Each structure stands twice: as structure tokens, then as C-alpha cells.
Amino acid sequence: MPRLPTYPTIVRQIDPQAPDPQIIAEAAACLREGGLVAFPTETVYGLGANALKERAVRRLFVAKGRPLTDPLIVHIARNEQLQTVARAIPAVAWRLVAAFWPGPLTLVLWRAPAIPPLVSAGLPTVAVRRPSHLVALALLAAAGVPVVAPSANRFGHTSPTRAEHVLADLAGRIEMILDAGPTPVGVESTVLDLTVEPAVVLRPGGVTVEALSTVLGYTPQVLERAAGPVKSPGLLERHYAPAVPLILIEGPAERARAALRQRALALASQGRRVGLLLYTEDQAALGPLPARVVDLGSLRQPEEVARRLFTALRTLEAAGVDVILARSVPDGGLWLAIRDRLRRASSEVVSV
């Protein structure tokens, strides 16, 4: 195996509300010249590379350990830039752009010739989004080029919602990290395929299906995990897996809680160090258990649960637990994305 060249990864603190133009200029120059810069978006931290430089894009795949068959999302600073990235853009795309950009919605469209095929893993399509995080927008505007940005984690690991997560996965592999603190949404963007009619949600995310349907005029189908051939390689099972096995218990609240308690006690009695991802309501109902508990927030606040989820997984991983237990969540709204990430992080799903 050839050794990877290493880079002294520079971490720059930056104000999420008022990004320092000098730091932005430095990061933008690095990107333009083919460097790799991790930056915050409203969803998760992304690892940016100049989309027009094939060498930079290739380096990005290597740094992440990502297979070349997994296509990337192109990030743009202005809505009009969409025309340079995609072609044959349907009217509905512009209606969605008007409603949800900047924001956590990625549109899959036909790829424009300016975008190297490598970006889309050779597919004739391209995924595009305009993020709303002020640091991301400032960086994209200053770079002046479209920027590919997958989540800034090693391939297969949990997406990063804090700069520390990026550093843990990619230190020495990238030039720079812009650290603006935790990301406000916490789960990745919704990926909507507009090259098919009716449109299909390839990945539930920060924009809910209910919100999409108000603009589409119908409720789009959500591609089920691992159903049939993989249309979006990001939908591979266990894509978001933490390094520790996660057992996900699905079923009505009372039964799932009881099963969770029983499993935790059984595993602990075998000498296993158990990590529990619990909703605030469940902690009260379950009482003390021989486990390391991380609070995911209240079942009444899916936004808070989404924000905490990936950090919670990494916290338990770093705590050195042998196994993580969690229970699934209700349907609808943002819960769809949360449940999707829990399922993909799980090594075993138990229905009760």
C-alpha cells in the first residue's frame, strides 16, 4: 500500500454568524488551488474540494477512503449557479429552489458538461445544493467555483457535527478545518431525485417530505433502505455506522422500553459495557440502569434529537462501550431522517 502524503491540518476558529473575511479568503484560496478544506454547513461538516479540478476531487475520495462509485454533492453560493452545474432543469426544480434554498435540500438533476464525470461517479446526473450556513455561503462565494462536499468523515463512519469529529477522522489528510461550533440541523440534507417523474426521495433529511409535498403537489415516495438495486450508493446499509455495534429496538413505546431495559440488564450481567441512547422521557420511565446513558433530548423536540444524534454516537464510541442500545422513533417530519440514520447505524434491528 502506498502511504498517503500527510498535511499539517490547520484548524481555524470562525464566527458562525459573522465569518472573518480574511479566514474565508485563506480557505477559499486553498480550495481554488486544489486543497481540501472542511467547513460547517447547517446539516453536518462537509469536506470541500474544487469541483472543476479532477485532481482535487480524486484526492478527496482518497482522503475519505470513499469508493469512486459513490457520487458527491456539488455546493453552490447562488441559485443561478445551478445552470452551470446541471442541464435540462425542470420548472419544478426552480420552484423547490425558491422554497428551500439556501437550506438542507439536495436536488439530483442531469449533469452539465462543465462538471467532471468523476464528481458523479460516472453517472449522467449530478446532486446539487446551496447550504444556508453563513460560513459555507461565504466560503463558496469567495471560492468562486462549485465545490464538492461529502460529509467530512472517513467513509462509513458517523457524519461530523463538530470540528473535533472532523479532526478525529481526517487529521493529516486535509489542509484546513473551519471550526464554527456544532452544526444547527445535525442530520444531512434531503436528497430528491428530479430526473424521474414523479420525484423520489433518495435520502430523508433536513427538509421534511411534508414540506416537499407542498411544493411538488404530491407526496414523493421515499426510497426504502436497501430495497432492490442501490440507486444512491449512500443508501448502502450501515453507511453511518459507529465503530461499535448498535442494536435498534423498534415497536410501540412501552414494549420497546421494556425490551431495551431487559437487553441492557442481560448484556451488563455478561460483563459487557453498555451504552444507551435514550430520549428524556425514557430515562424517567426506565430509572437507573447499569449503562452509560446519553440523552438524545425529548420526543417532543425532533430538531433537538437530530442535533444531538451523531455526537451521541461518537460520545459512546469514545467512552469505550462494547455495545449501544437505542429505540426507534415515531414516523413523520424530521423523525423520518432520524429513524433512517438510526437504522443505518445499526448492526441489528429487533422488532418487538
Binding site for ligand TXA (CB under 6 A): 41, 43-44, 46, 70-73, 104, 106, 108, 120, 123, 125-127, 131, 149-151, 188-189, 191, 202-203, 232-234
Closest residue by Cα to residue 212 from 225, 231, 199 = 199
**Of Mg ion, ligand TXA, none, which one sits near residue 282, judging by CB under 5 to 8 A according to partner kind?**
none
Phi, psi of 283 (to 5 degrees): -60, -45
Please answer whether residues 272 and 256 qualify as being in contact, where contact means their C-beta atoms are separated by less than 8 angstroms.
Answer: no
Sign of CA dihedral 42, 43, 49, 54: negative
Compute the least distance from the CB of residue 296 to ligand TXA, in Å. Answer: 20
CA torsion, ordered 114, 120, 124, 128, to nearest 10 deg: -70
Beta strands at 73-75 and 125-129: parallel, antiparallel or unpaired: parallel
Which residue number is nearest to ligand TXA in terms of Cβ? 234
Q: Residue 203 binds which entry of Mg ion, ligand TXA, none, with Cβ cut-offs from 5 to 8 Å by kind?
A: ligand TXA
Which of Mg ion, ligand TXA, none does residue 157 bind to, with CB < 5 to 8 Å depending on kind? none
Give residue 80's identity as a one-letter amino acid code.
E
Residues 183-202 that bind Mg ion (CB under 5 A): none
- The dihedrals phi and psi of 322, each to the nearest 5 degrees, come to -90, -25
Bond from prior residue into 198 cis (ω within 30 degrees of 0): yes
Among positions 121-150, residues that touch Mg ion (CB under 5 A) are: none
Is 203 or 339 the residue whose CB approaches ligand TXA more closely?
A: 203
Q: Between 63 and 127, name the residue whose CB sits nearer to ligand TXA.
A: 127
- The rounded distance, in Å, linking the Cα atoms of 290 and 266 is 10
C-alpha cell at 304: 433537538
Which CB atom, from 108 or from 277, has the smaller least distance to ligand TXA? Answer: 108
Question: Which residue has its beta carbon closest to Mg ion?
Answer: 151
Q: Which residues contact 280 (CB under 8 A, 6 or more apart)?
A: 295, 296, 297, 298, 299
> 72 or 178: whose CB is closer to ligand TXA?
72
Q: How far is the CB of 42 from ligand TXA (least distance, A)?
A: 8
Smallest gap from Cβ 298 to ligand TXA, in A, equals 24
- The per-type count for the chain, helices as H runs and strands as E runs, is 11, 17
Measured from the CB atom, the residue of 81 and 151 that comes closer to Mg ion is 151
User: With CB cut-offs between 5 and 8 Å by kind, which of Mg ion, ligand TXA, none does residue 140 bind?
Assistant: none
Among ligand TXA, Mg ion, none, what does residue 326 contact (CB within 5–8 Å per kind)?
none
- Tell how far CA 330 is from the center of its chain: 20
Q: How many residues bind Mg ion (CB under 5 A)?
A: 1
Q: Which does 346 bind (CB under 5 to 8 A by kind): ligand TXA, Mg ion, none?
A: none
Task: State the minimum distance, in angstroms, from the CB of residue 275 to ligand TXA.
Answer: 24
Q: Which is nearer to ligand TXA, 42 or 282 (CB)?
A: 42
Nearest to 264 by CA among 256, 230, 3, 37: 256
User: Which of ligand TXA, Mg ion, none binds 119 (CB below 5-8 Å, type-dependent)?
Assistant: none
Distances, alpha carbon 177 to alpha carbons 119, 155, 164, 168, 173, in Å = 22, 18, 10, 12, 11
Minimum distance, C-beta of residue 205 to ligand TXA, in the bound complex (Å): 6
Q: Print the binding letters for residues 151-170 with Mg ion: x by CB under 5 A, - otherwise.
A: x-------------------
Q: Judged by CB, which is closer to Mg ion: 151, or 190?
A: 151
CB atoms within 10 A of CB 122: 11
Residue 198, amino acid? P
Smallest distance from ligand TXA to CB 337, Å:
10
Tell me if 317 sits within 8 A of 244, measured CB to CB.
yes
Residues that bind Mg ion (CB under 5 A): 151
